[in-house]
Amino acid sequence: MTDTCRRRSVSFTSPQRFRMKFEDLLEELDGFGRFQKMILFLSFIGRFTLPCHFLLNNYIGAIPPHHCALSSVDGNLTHEQRMTISIPKQEDGTFTSCHMFSEPQFHLLGDELSVTNASVVECQNGWTFDNSSFISTLATEWDLVCENRGMNKAMATIFFIGVMLGAAIYGSLSDRYGRKTMLLVSYVLSLCFAMASVFSSSIIMFAVLRFFTGLNITGIVIVTSVLNVEWVSIESRKLVGVIDSFSWTFGYMVLPVMGWVPESARWLIANGKVEKAQYYLQKCAVMNKRTTGISILKPEVLSSIVSEGGNRTYSYLDLMRTPNMRRLALLTGVTWYGVASTYYGMSFNIKGFGLNLYLNQFLYAAVEIPAKLLVYLLLDRIGRRPTEVSGLLLSSCALIINIFIPKDQWIVRSVIGVLGKGFTAIAFSTLVLYSSELYPTVIRQNGMGFISFMGRLGVALAPLILLLDDMWTHLSQVILCIIALIAGVVASQLPETKDRCLPETIEDIEGTRCGAMDQEEQAWEILTPISENEVTEALRGMGATVVGLDKVEVKDLLQWHQPTLAGYLNLILALEELPKILTTA
């Protein structure tokens, strides 16, 4: 990818040498007008559903306090007395959850401290649950407790395996059939499978339906992120990325009507569908009240934006065929795995700091608001890469610090935990925008599908990492700390994308178009001192028409491009009079 990307017009008569960039069109049509705001609004509503699905297991997978169901016992005994003669106690004085006496121990009514040698068996008649916090969960519905308690965490893993596979499927299909088409498919199928899961009659049926819900809902995640970034100008991408991430923070279960969402014009041009791209760009110009720019939306101009694409079909293999693309895919894949695993590992650990479960969940969500506002400030001030690396390294520090804080200091532990969650939110919010800017248009959705696959792999393994706390209390925190640290180091190797045009082709990533760009950069630097009047006089001395523009008046050309000097450079290049102007300069 070239190091710089100044926004400029390009030659209409020499498309093979100087190609127009999509950012030039957005500059003419308003890169963040009402058209783009409408797209962002629809996407924002669409993503409301995501947190409810992704964090649902925190609630449906909860295991309320429970004990073996008591058999009928003769006599007028209170509930506490029935518990005493039926359920053995643990060392801390609480009743066990998974065992009961084989026979009632009436002698314990007189002396609860007396030692009994009665045999203990597993629960014979099911369990009784405390419904003060949860009325119904997977554990209460299908008795997923004791030796089956791991199935509650497994439900989260099964869901995220579906999300992981869906990322690969929707990433590929979105590059082939378009962003809008696959977004609508994702909405419809995820709605159907989510609704069907409500009526599950067995844990197996529920697991299957949750798998397919995850598989289809991931299309909403990756398609809306790319669609938003591809439709806005360079300076607006930061704002769009942050606003889009807020839809997760404020997520509620809302299903919108998404039929009007336009296809990505970048994708249409990259795939040779120039006429349809022209249609959407014209609608964009009209809605943004930039009708003067419609005259430049000609098929031959749009066709010059990219040199690859057309009827060629891209696949995930193209991520590995060339060296720079391969390196980019590997670096972003590892980073996504690390960020997702750390973020969800902390999100799922809502009972580890001594706070009320609901309060802890609320604080974890609330801290994302200042975190994402901070992302908005940092993205342009220090750049994408430093923001990403800082978020990962600071979250790693928070995890390791909490290991050395005693559990009785739960307030300090909770503060550090919430701060760590905020740092992971910074890393995740930055990474979505950052990744969208790194991949070229012709394969962007494939790239997003691949890295989302890697991210969901991290999410799927996060609940299993938390199970390691049974071996050592802090083992999961140590592992998550190491993962975040490695991801931060890997992210530091990615290129910066601040203030740079989105790459359109694999050639842009591999640098095979650098020669032409270097010539243009050199010409730009030389022409910078030239005044508007000097350029205007030079143009008028060349004649009143320009080849390739259907005899358009020079004054109209100047009106289109004022006051951008890049526009004058473009006209000079088009007339092949650059040597003359350079001489006078």
The DSSP secondary structure of 119-167, one letter per residue, reads: -EEE-SS-EEE-TTT-S--HHHHHT--GGGTHHHHHHHHHHHHHHHHHH
- Which residues, in sequence order, are CB contacts of 113 under 8 Å at separation 6+? none
Strands 99-101 and 66-68: unpaired
Query: Which segments of the chain belong to CATH 1.20.1250.20?
Result: 22-61+149-260, 320-501
Which token pair is 362?
A: 């609320």
Which has more confidence, 66 or 542?
Answer: 66
Handedness of CA 331, 336, 337, 338 (dihedral sign): positive
Residue 427, pLDDT score: 92
Instruction: Decide if pLDDT at 8 tops 50.
Output: no
Gyration radius (Cα) of the chain, Å: 30
Average pLDDT over the chain, rounded to an integer: 75
pLDDT per position as a tens digit, 503-512: 878 888 887 5
Residue 250, pLDDT score: 60
- Which residues, in sequence order, are CB contacts of 567 under 8 Å at separation 6+? 8, 9, 557, 558, 560, 561
pLDDT above 70 covers a percentage of the chain that reads 74
The listed CATH number (1.20.1250.20, 3.10.310.70, 3.40.50.12280, 1.10.3720.10) that belongs to domain 320-501: 1.20.1250.20
Q: Which of 170-184, 230-244, 524-538 has the lowest mean pLDDT?
A: 524-538
- Which residues, in sequence order, are CB contacts of 76 under 8 Å at separation 6+? none
Residue 291, pLDDT score: 73
Question: Rounded to whole angstroms, how far apart are CA atoms 211 and 166?
Answer: 10
Which token pair is 366?
A: 């609330």
Q: Which of 123-127, 246-250, 267-271 has the lowest mean pLDDT?
A: 246-250
Residue 298, pLDDT score: 73
Instruction: Taking residues 212-217, report their average pLDDT.
Output: 90
Beta bridge partners of 99: 122
Residue 304, pLDDT score: 66
Q: Among 109, 124, 121, 113, which residue's Cα sits nearest to residue 75?
A: 109
pLDDT per position as a tens digit, 305-347: 654 445 567 778 888 888 888 999 999 999 999 999 999 888 8
Check residue 314 and report its DSSP letter: P
- Per mean pLDDT, which of 81-90, 112-121, 247-256 is the most reliable? 81-90
What would you measure as the largest C-alpha separation in the chain, in angstroms? Answer: 115
Instruction: Decide if pLDDT at 279 tops 60.
Output: yes
Instruction: Taking residues 256-266, report their average pLDDT.
Output: 59
H/E/C letters for each residue in 42-105?
HHHHHCCHHHHHHCCHHHHCCCCCEEECCCCCCCCCCHHHHHHHHCCECCCCCECCCEEECCCC
Q: What angle do CA 157, 162, 166 make, to 5 degrees?
A: 145
Which token pair is 400?
A: 């390791």
Q: What is the DSSP string of 378-419?
A: HHHHT-HHHHHHHHHHHHHHHHHHHHTS-TT-HHHHHHHHHH
Residue 546, pLDDT score: 36
Side chain identity, residue 414: S
Cβ–Cβ contacts within 10 Å for residue 2, how many? 15
Q: What is the DSSP string of 205-241?
A: HHHHHHHHHHHHHHHHHHHHHHHHHHHS-HHHHHHHH
- CA torsion 290-294-299-305 (nearest 10°) is -30
CB 264 within 8 A of CB 444: no
- Which residues, in sequence order, are CB contacts of 451 under 8 Å at separation 6+? 329, 332, 333, 335, 336, 435
Report the CATH superfamily, name and number, of domain 22-61+149-260.
Answer: MFS general substrate transporter like domains (1.20.1250.20)
Residue 522, pLDDT score: 42
Instruction: Taking residues 456-466, report their average pLDDT.
Output: 86
Side chain identity, residue 238: K
- Per mean pLDDT, which of 77-86, 198-207, 257-266, 296-305 is the most reliable? 198-207
Side chain identity, residue 21: K
CB 65 within 8 A of CB 98: no
Instruction: Taking residues 178-185, report their average pLDDT.
Output: 88
